[in-house]
């Protein structure tokens, strides 16, 4: 069956490859999509928790997958 959201798939693949990327660079890396398509899909994905968007000094919006933002949460138990 075909993917229901090809724009979503393209964006998530690009973010996964980059691990962390700037919004404008992401849009540029997907020439088949308009900047608006990328922006609106990143907004939707962010609201759904599928990507993390942070605002960096210098006015850049950085995009990454949630697992790249989490720190290690291993718990060590002594017996």
- Asked if 54 and 21 touch (Cβ cutoff 8 Å), the reply is no
The separation between the first and the last C-alpha atoms of the chain, rounded to the nearest angstrom, is 50
Q: Is the pTM of this model over 0.85?
A: no
pLDDT of residue 77: 45
Gap between the Cα atoms of 24 and 35, Å rounded:
8
pLDDT tens track for 56-66: 999 999 999 99
Does domain 6-68 correspond to CATH entry 1.10.10.10? yes
pLDDT tens track for 2-59: 445 789 999 999 999 999 999 999 999 999 999 999 999 999 999 999 999 999 999 9
Q: Which of 5, 73, 77 is nearest to 37 (CA)?
A: 5
| Three-class SS state of 20 | strand
Q: State both tokens at 49.
A: 């928790």
pLDDT of residue 4: 53
Domain boundaries, the chain: 6-68
Residue 50, Cα to own-chain centre: how many angstroms?
Answer: 7
Gap between the Cα atoms of 54 and 76, Å rounded:
31
């Amino acid at each position: 069956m075909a993917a229901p959201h090809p724009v979503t798939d393209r964006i998530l693949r690009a973010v996964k490859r980059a691990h962390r990327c700037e919004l404008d660079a992401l849009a540029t890396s997907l020439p088949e999509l308009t900047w608006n398509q990328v922006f609106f899909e990143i907004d939707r994905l962010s609201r759904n928790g599928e990507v993390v968007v942070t605002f960096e000094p210098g006015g850049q919006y950085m995009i990454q997958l949630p697992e790249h933002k989490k720190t290690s949460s291993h718990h060590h138990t002594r017996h």
